[in-house]
Amino acid sequence: MRAVRFDRFGEAGEVLRLVEDQPMPQRKPGEVLVKVAATSVNPIDYKIRRGDFPRLFVALPKVPGGDVAGVVAEADPGSSFKPGDRVMALADGYRPWRAWGTYCEFVSLPEAHLARIPEGMSDEEAAALPLVSLTVMQALEVSNLSTGDRLLVHGASGGVGVMAVQLAKARGLYVLGTCSFSNADYVKELGCDRVIDYTKERFEDACGDAPLDCVIDGVGGDYEPRSLRLLKRSGTYVSLRAGDTNAAILVATLKGKLLGLLRLGPHYYSSGVSPNGRQLAEVAEVWKEGKLKINVQTVLPLVRAAEAQELVAARHVRGKVVLRVSKAEPEETGKESTSPAGKPE
């Protein structure tokens, strides 16, 4: 089958290769073989490829990617999924130490990781959903928030942020979100109660005197200590920098976790997102109720995976960049891009 993979760390255009001879995955009992229609690019994909994670723990050669939208090709007799069903999932293969991600034509996944794609949702929209929405579902679950609680989302126009704003509003939270001026109207339309343009005002000033119940931080750096100061002692700080390994992040994470454990600071949550079909089905319900918009900024064919990763690595995508995987690849939609990408081997 076809897949995009890399066997050394480096620039996207130099190391990502489209290959035609990737072996087919062998489905195990309890798993479902899925023919991938589309996948999407998440920051972890380019971080692993660049060598940002400890290189010893990265499986090479690696097929990047975690998001899947496609159709069931094969399942156990008696499985709740049958060939032809449209499904979506987060695949564990997104993790650095797994060789097999989702930039390829087939994946085999545990049945519990899958959810059905609701009628009316396109493959591209479904592919944009799993990793970012599950990140938010899991953050909200550990934060134990109630209606009216105040949540601050950093990076509110990004892949995770867009989901955080909408899934939080669907639960009746009061949501503040940071983004630049160019995305402010868009984030407002998603339902954000207070949009903070980080280029013009300090988020501390915009948050006012009432302490926050939760911060979901997709930006990090100095946002972390500044946000921790705004939280209630009983609140939760969700760091999305799990796995990022520069020394400053590691020290800040350890300090935050220790203070949280000793109850000298807010609860500090930092963990990698996990596959979860049940939570993904809950997200699909929110979408069916019309409370969740999925913004696919750009769709590119699999062969242009390198270009797609470069786009995301620029850190100003609004919503998501999706890769079309199945053979009948449509022309690129959305933003025009001209640079060359992954070279066939």
Which chain residues interact with ligand NAP by CB under 6 A? Answer: 42-44, 131-132, 135, 154-155, 157-161, 178-180, 182-183, 198, 218-219, 240, 242, 272-273, 312, 315-318
Integer CA distances (angstroms), 207 to 131, 152, 194, 215, 238, in order: 28, 8, 9, 11, 17
CB of 210 to ligand NAP, least distance (A): 21
Q: How far is the CB of 136 from ligand NAP (least distance, A)?
A: 9
Nearer to ligand NAP, 35 or 304 (CB): 304
Calpha distance 293→319 (Å, rounded): 10
- The residues that bridge with 175 in the sheet, in sequence order, are 151
Q: How far apart are CA 284 and CA 294, in angstroms?
A: 11
Shorter beta-carbon distance to ligand NAP: residue 40 or 108: 40
The answer to whether 66 and 101 are in contact (CB under 8 A) is yes
Q: Tokens in use for 64?
A: 């990047």
CB of 207 to ligand NAP, least distance (A): 14
In terms of CB distance, is 157 or 227 closer to ligand NAP? 157
Least Å distance, CB 76 to ligand NAP, is 30
Compute the distance between CA of residue 108 and CA of residue 73 in angstroms, rounded to an integer. Answer: 10
Provide the minimum distance between the beta carbon of 223 and ligand NAP in the complex, in angstroms, as a whole number: 7
Give the integer Cα–Cα distance in Å for 319 and 299.
12
Least CB distance to ligand NAP at residue 84 (A): 31
74/191 with CB nearer ligand NAP: 191
Residue nearest to ligand NAP (CB): 158
Minimum distance, C-beta of residue 271 to ligand NAP, in the bound complex (Å):
6
What's the DSSP call for residue 144?
Answer: T
Task: With CA atoms as reference, report the closest residue to 249 among 272, 228, 270, 274.
Answer: 270
Between 105 and 217, name the residue whose CB sits nearer to ligand NAP: 217
Which lies closer to ligand NAP via its Cβ, residue 76 or residue 191? 191
Distance CA 128, CA 237 (A): 25
Phi (first) and psi of residue 267, to 5 degrees: -60, 130
Name, in order, each residue with C-beta under 8 angstroms of 322's C-beta and a sequence gap of 6 or more.
38, 39, 40, 41, 124, 127, 128, 296, 298, 299, 300
For ligand NAP, which is the closer residue by CB, 73 or 176? 176
Comparing CA positions, the residue from 137, 138, 79 lying closest to residue 109 is 79
User: For residues 17 and 257, which CB has a smaller minimum distance to ligand NAP in the complex?
Assistant: 257
Nearest approach in angstroms of CB 63 to ligand NAP is 18
